[in-house]
Structure 1
Amino acid sequence: MALILKNARYLNEMNGTWTARQDDILIDGNTIKEIGSLEHLYSDHEVWDVKNLLIMPGLINGHQHTPMSLLRCYSDDLPLMDWLNKKMLPAEMKMTSEDRYWGAMLSMAEMIKSGTTAYADMYIDMDTIAKAVQETGIRASLARGMIAMDSNYSDRIEESRQLVERWHGSAEGRITAMVAPHSPYMCPPDFLSDAVKLAKELDVPLHTHLAETSDERVMIQERHGMSPVQYLQAAGFFEDTRVVLAHGVHFTEEDLSILESVKGGIIHNPVSNAKLGCGTSNVVELKKRGLKVGLGTDGPGSASTLDMFMEMKAAAWMQKLLHEDASSLSAHEVLTMATQNGAEILGIGKETGSIEPGKKADLLFLNMNQPHLLPAHHDASLLVYAAAGQDVDSVMIDGKIVMKNRELLTMDEEKVMFEAKQSAENLLRRL
């Protein structure tokens, strides 16, 4: 039996402006089938009266490392390279598969409860993370993060191949896969070229960290005599590929000229970049150059929060400060970055990112009847500047309600929190 969302007040984008409309929405299986006056169908289907909620497309977190939730606030107030090399990598090397499972589950619980319906993950032991995705019902683009500091890297290439072959299109289509050489500074030229060849062979996107810090630029210039963007270009990274480029903080004019024609785009991570002192991506300039920009949280080990409403606020605030112009990045533009743009960059834009017939039913239901969300002069501004993840009342992913009235329905929240806490404590004892 299909489901009708009765009295649905929903927010959608048209010609750059997000406006609210009032209709009924018919969901058949995992798909939005019809929007309009559907009273004549009420007797034939299950009906959910949602008149007290505001509906919007699910948020897309374009860059994440889910098991790092176990290391939330473990190594704060350090520069990126110290944070990574002195604290995070040594701890991650001690993680067990069980640790990674419960870390991933904790991240997915947090993401769903704060309105994320689809996300991109880059880590190791991706079979374990894919299992968590299957169980929780979230939509995910998964990639084995690959590091190669020497010539012996064939196992990582093979793991990436197996991930794509095993999981791409699985979980009723909720799981897609990518190939993810970690970053220019952790991938020598031959390895990077082999990763690009694999992505082209398997016809999946490439996902990498790029131009996150000024140190990265200096490092690549000293090693290879070029910028990180030029280094990727030399490996064929932008030729006949779709790319998911996380961060994009430190670009030159020549870098931007190279990137103007890419298929895919930049995933902006404002909270993580600010917290690690990396700087902020010039989103306004990227948009002027025709680049598509989405939003991500980065891992909870750096950002500390997976709340995409916080990322939306930070994205808008930081551009206004960077350009000393309150109009530089509007709430409407930020909402598009967090939904449609993110979906298109991940290659799932035909399935999700907006509310329209034919799209998958990935929806958020927000409780707007709260002191901090009244009065409702402009819904888009309220969502970006005033709302928080805790305002999400219910979540639907792929036509299935995975949270209702703040209760997670696809996982035992108390067990997930208990097991994740135990895993974190055990992990620190092994260091």
Structure 2
Amino acid sequence: MPSRVLIEGGWVFAGEGDGPFQVVEDGVVAVEGERIAYVGPRDGLDPAWEPTRRIDARDKAVLPGLVNAHTHHAMSLLRGYADDVPLMPWLERHIWPAEAHLTGDDVYWGTLLAIAESLLAGVTTFADMYFFMDRVAQAVVETGVRAHLSRGLIGVAPGADQALAEGKALVAAFQGAGDGRIRCALAPHAPYTCPPPFLARVLEAAAALGCPIHTHLAETRAEVEQIRAQYGKSPIRHFADLGVFQHPTLAAHCVHVDADDIAILAEHGVAVAHNPISNCKLASGIAPVPDLLAAGVTVGLASDGAASTNHLDLFEEMRLAASLQKVSRYDATVLPAWQVLRMATVGGARALGFDRLGCLAPGYLADIVVLDLRAPHLRPRHDLTSLVVYSAKASDVDTVLVHGKVLVDGGELLTVDLERVEHEVEERARRLARLARGGAADGTP
């Protein structure tokens, strides 16, 4: 018999439409197995429905699990390694040389650290593009989280053929793994790293495997200028003409897009992962999120990797996402709190292609966050949605369920040995830094 969990007495963010979530005071969420059975007022629940566990949500908000729509989880190993550097020098002089020394074990432990950080911040699902993705999948299966996984593919790099083989093997081995918690994609890194002949091979593989595409697009002005110089068109038009968007596509960034680009994205159903803090810190620019949403483009919220944002906190991302649009457009009404919260939940779920995820409604997958509102920065409670988006912090997360199972209980991780993970990560991060700077693995010059 499936487990039955009753979350009761909180402010429940309910509903599955395209507008704001409906906040139900003293509401309940009934979870049966991996799905939600009931959401709403307490007196609407069948009195014969008996839970195997009760979670007291009084003075708490009950939200859909947050979805990080684009990240590189094992880059938590490189947090703080190369800050205050523009994107291409950051990649070419610092990140790629360090990543050249990564092992599968490094990626496994770095991913576990990121999963721990994310769960404690209420993130239940993430889209990851990196290397040694079989080890990332292992971490996902072990910890109980939900993920969209892809092996990053750089067509101009040595070993591109091997990388593509690894990407295809990931899809074949892990599509639907972890009781359906894992979806897989192929991930051509970007237009400037994947020439058309290599991209054609990736798309042929995606067609054969029936899997989506995860990529970076139009992140910087330099990228747009380079692709226009090479191909006479924008990165968006370039990928459209090559047939990339004939496959379900998740495009990270889309900062430098014009009206024609946005129309192409909307026409082809391309989903965008918006990374506000990464785009600020790397001086990439401000994505036109209100224009994308107005055109009908699905937009999810993302942190990017911890090497560029230094954190995996979607509460910070929500605040900045809203604030950037308001200040850049001199309009306080654009991208209101309810819209940002939807981007961080159901928007991300739709962008990643997960069905019946990201809302608290009957039949939806039971990925749920309980947020403790008993803190000075969360009083008074005039508007619960604004409170969550503009005032809440990751540290307010109390309880997290994924696929109907409790993974964080009263702020305690249940599926990650955090002390062991932190020890492993410290040792491995020091080794990577030494090797990248020309030293030996044992610390000798």
The TM-score with structure 2 as length reference comes to 0.93
The answer as to whether partners of 2:124 and 2:145 remain within 8 angstroms in 1 is yes
Query: Residue 263 of structure 2 aligns to a residue in which SS?
Result: helix
Distance 2:304 2:191 in 1: 17
2:17 is the alignment partner of 1:17: no
1:92-116 CA-partner distances (Å, limit 9, x unpaired): 1111221111111111111100010
Distance 2:157 2:109 in 1: 31
How many residues are aligned here?
A: 429
Q: Which residue number in structure 2 is paired with residue 66 of structure 1?
A: 73
2:84 is the alignment partner of 1:80: no
Distance 1:270 1:357 in 2: 32
Distance 1:137 1:225, change over 3 A: same
Question: Which is worse superposed, 164-173 or 47-56?
Answer: 47-56
The answer as to whether partners of 1:270 and 1:280 remain within 8 angstroms in 2 is yes
Distance 2:159 2:406 in 1: 45
The answer as to whether partners of 2:4 and 2:50 remain within 8 angstroms in 1 is no
Query: Residue 251 of structure 1 aligns to a residue in which SS?
Result: coil
Alignment RMSD: 1.6
2:323 is the alignment partner of 1:320: no
Distance 1:41 1:377 in 2: 35
Calculate percent identity across the aligned residue pairs: 39
Q: Which residue number in structure 1 is paired with residue 442 of structure 2?
A: none
Q: How does 1:32-43 map to 2 (within 5 A)?
A: 32-36=36-40, 37=43, 38=45, 40-41=47-48
1:377-425 CA-partner distances (Å, limit 9, x unpaired): 0011011111111110110000010001111000111111111111111
* Residue identity opposite 1:347 in structure 2: G
Unaligned runs of 5+ in 2: 437-445
The answer as to whether partners of 2:118 and 2:312 remain within 8 angstroms in 1 is yes
Question: Which is worse superposed, 400-409 or 245-254?
Answer: 245-254
The answer as to whether partners of 2:6 and 2:51 remain within 8 angstroms in 1 is no
* Residue identity opposite 2:237 in structure 1: Q
The answer as to whether partners of 1:267 and 1:295 remain within 8 angstroms in 2 is yes
* Residue identity opposite 2:206 in structure 1: A
State the shift of 1:255 in Å: 1.8
State the shift of 1:8 in Å: 4.1
Q: How does 1:224-239 map to 2 (within 5 A)?
A: 224-239=231-246
State the shift of 1:264 in Å: 3.7
The answer as to whether partners of 1:4 and 1:42 remain within 8 angstroms in 2 is no
Unaligned runs of 5+ in 1: none
* Residue identity opposite 1:20 in structure 2: V
Q: Which residue number in structure 2 is paired with residue 337 of structure 1?
A: 343
State the shift of 1:44 in Å: 6.0
Distance 1:151 1:96 in 2: 17
1:332-387 CA-partner distances (Å, limit 9, x unpaired): 10001111111011100x23100011111100000001100000100110111111
Question: Which is worse superposed, 289-298 or 198-207?
Answer: 198-207
Q: How does 1:131-142 map to 2 (within 5 A)?
A: 131-142=138-149
Distance 1:164 1:389, change over 3 A: same
Q: Which residue number in structure 1 is paired with residue 4 of structure 2?
A: 2
Q: Which residue number in structure 2 is paired with residue 104 of structure 1?
A: 111
Query: Residue 180 of structure 2 aligns to a residue in which SS?
Result: coil
Q: Which residue number in structure 2 is paired with residue 49 of structure 1?
A: 56
State the shift of 1:195 in Å: 1.2
Query: Residue 261 of structure 1 aligns to a residue in which SS?
Result: helix
2:202 is the alignment partner of 1:198: no
The answer as to whether partners of 1:296 and 1:311 remain within 8 angstroms in 2 is yes
